[in-house]
Structure 1
Amino acid sequence: MKKKILVTWRLLIDDFDKYKHLFEKNNISYDFLHVKQYAAVKDLIKIISKYDGIICGDDQLDKKVLSKANKLKIISKWGTGLDSIDLEYAKQKNIKVFNSPGAFTDSVADHALALMFSITRNIHHNYSDILKGVWSKRICTNLTGKTVGIIGFGKIGRMIKKRLSGYKVKFLINDLKKQKIKTTSKNNIFKNSDILFLSVDLNNKSKHMITKKELKVMKKNLILINVCRGQVVDIDDLYIALKNRLITAAGLDVFAKEPVNKNNKILKLNNCIVTSHNAFNSESVISLINKTTVSNLLNGFKNIKK
């Protein structure tokens, strides 16, 4: 019996010609849904009932959507994060969910360091000065002797530490899971870090982990780097802390609502640099994850047959 899938992730849609033969071979037809960022509930709820599988990005596959997905058997997520999918309800409905763990470890770790160095070496300000005709000599910050906090010591957190281990820095680590290395409390990290990297999964414990309460105890010279999920930081509280120089600077690749509104007040600060949830986006891994995501879907259907 022929199956039908929906493909919403733009980077796979752009590269889909490479995989057409695999779907034809497995008697699977497909539709594309072109979205700018992700498919919202209103986009999916009207059409999801038609499909046996979906290849998605950060689409909102919540209970409302999945309750209408009467045929759906496979969700193949492009990438790693699964917080946009109601995993518990999917399990109740016997919908198999696949992703690519560790797919973007190198890319995201590199991006986190790029944000940090852009701030510590004043690269973005220096560049802006030159464009204005100002040959500035801004004072910069070295890493030597600094304390680096990492909250979330999974693959990305460990890679950030590995990347920075050649520098003369002290590490403070926190993670929900027991680690082989010495860990400490989040509060100790907040109080003592000069640079703080956030690389946690989004869950009930990490949502709004950073609010005005935590920001008030941080060192005034702290640089905050967030490359995980925007909801981990209360953006309004962060804005106030940055504006009032309670902390020195922030580098953000993620926001709770994306794309971020061009009028968002945090974009007007000169001590916050942002990127467009683009840390994952490295040419060398895109084709690999496309292939893995397709394989996850096809293998999922094969296993259901068994």
Structure 2
Amino acid sequence: MTAASSAVRHRVVVTQRFFDAATRDHLQAHGCEVVEAELPPGQADADLDEPRLRELLDGAAGWIVGHARVTDTLLAGLPHLRVIARRGVGYERVDLAAVRRHGMVATIAAGGNDACVADHALALMLAVSRRLREGQRRLEADSWAIPLGNDLYRKTVGVVGLGRIGRGVVQRLRGFECRILVHSPHVDAGWAEAQGVEAVPMDALLAQSDVVTLHAPLTTETRFLIDAPAIARMQPSAILVNTARGGLVEDRHLLQALEAGRLQGAGLDVFVSEADAGYADVTRALVARADVVASPHAGASTHEGLNRTNRIAAECVLAVLQDRSPPAACLIADGRAAAGTPLTTRRQA
């Protein structure tokens, strides 16, 4: 038995699905007792209420979480919890101020799912452009009539948001010899010139793009970034792709535009209804359309991508439990300094 495996064991609870055996073994080899929540098929940790989450997390020092809401009231009832590691990169469901107030640490799995989400965005662009869903529907109806699609080759693509995923999309689009427009508050003119892309205002991107693909975070400023006025600026032949966050697009307005023939189609991996049940009927109507290719928030869900994000989340948990700092790119809230004493001493007292 190694020194690490014989050390005091920390309880680490995983509430996200698809946690791989190698990462579980890695945590166990480094002094952790790993408990995976047993969720019914089709259920995610976002569906769990606070009493159930509190029950699952009782006595846990680490929590590897998917999309559950991390609230002040939840954390207040978990005195042993030291680290919340999101197996993903979005953190709009995590109350960062509460994490700091309770002397805890919150992290994301930065760099783990960039490649698979960027791949997924290209897949949706191609599927909608080539009308693959319509073609399969016709074959299922014993019709070999060909739905005429469009190339992605040498089209103008507007990329909104230039984080790791947005830049990955830019890299992939070069292989299609696309003209690439970018819009981001963080875009550097020198970088844009070196990459052969054009940094433009949002209105220009919407007006000129054959495809608009969204890779921005969901904030108060970006909520419903694509609404009826924004869609009105787009070309009727344009395609909208959203693999970022439900809430960047006003799905009711998108549905109305598609029904009116104001857009060629949409590729959607995320929906407003994920956070607002009042949009459930809108999601159903969008998913039913032949000009929409949809997936169930699956852009980051490949075997390889989930294994990478599992491992990054696990390493963040171990860093905190071993009184080290997680990688800077992963750290989103650190309440240890505010606590005034070492976290291990304070929370184990």
Structure 1 residues 169-180: aligned runs within 5 Å = 169-179=178-188, 180=191
Match status 1:155 vs 2:164: yes
The residue number in structure 2 matching 1:210 is: 226
Match status 1:270 vs 2:279: no
The answer to whether the Cα contact below 8 Å between 2:63 and 2:85 also exists between their aligned partners in 1 is yes
Structure 2 length normalisation: TM-score? Answer: 0.79
The answer to whether the Cα contact below 8 Å between 1:41 and 1:65 also exists between their aligned partners in 2 is no
* Greater Cα shift, 142-151 or 253-262: 253-262
Distance 1:140 1:24 in 2: 53
Q: 1:25 to 1:110 in 2, by over 3 A?
A: closer
Q: Shift of the alpha carbon at 1:30?
A: 4.2
Q: Secondary structure at the match of 2:236?
A: coil
Structure 1 length normalisation: TM-score? Answer: 0.90
Q: 1:133 to 1:50 in 2, by over 3 A?
A: same
Instruction: Quote the sequence identity (%).
Output: 23
Higher RCO (Cα < 8 Å, 6 or more apart): 2
For 2:260, give the aligned amino acid: N
Match status 1:143 vs 2:159: no
The answer to whether the Cα contact below 8 Å between 2:224 and 2:250 also exists between their aligned partners in 1 is yes
The answer to whether the Cα contact below 8 Å between 1:192 and 1:219 also exists between their aligned partners in 2 is yes
Q: Secondary structure at the match of 2:199?
A: coil
The answer to whether the Cα contact below 8 Å between 2:84 and 2:317 also exists between their aligned partners in 1 is yes
RMSD over aligned Cα atoms: 2.4
Q: 1:279 to 1:23 in 2, by over 3 A?
A: same
Distance 1:297 1:278 in 2: 24
The residue number in structure 1 matching 2:103 is: 94
Gaps of 5+ in 2: 1-7, 193-197, 324-342
| 1:23 paired residue among 23, 28, 40 | 28
Q: Shift of the alpha carbon at 1:149?
A: 0.4
Q: Secondary structure at the match of 1:136?
A: coil
The residue number in structure 2 matching 1:188 is: 204
Q: Secondary structure at the match of 2:322?
A: helix
Structure 1 residues 65-84: aligned runs within 5 Å = 65-84=74-93
For 1:29, give the aligned amino acid: E
Number of aligned positions between the proteins: 303
Q: Shift of the alpha carbon at 1:102?
A: 1.8
The answer to whether the Cα contact below 8 Å between 1:8 and 1:33 also exists between their aligned partners in 2 is yes
Gaps of 5+ in 1: none
| 1:237 paired residue among 253, 266, 271 | 253
For 1:291, give the aligned amino acid: R
Q: Secondary structure at the match of 1:125?
A: helix
Q: Shift of the alpha carbon at 1:191?
A: 1.7
Distance 1:289 1:253 in 2: 19
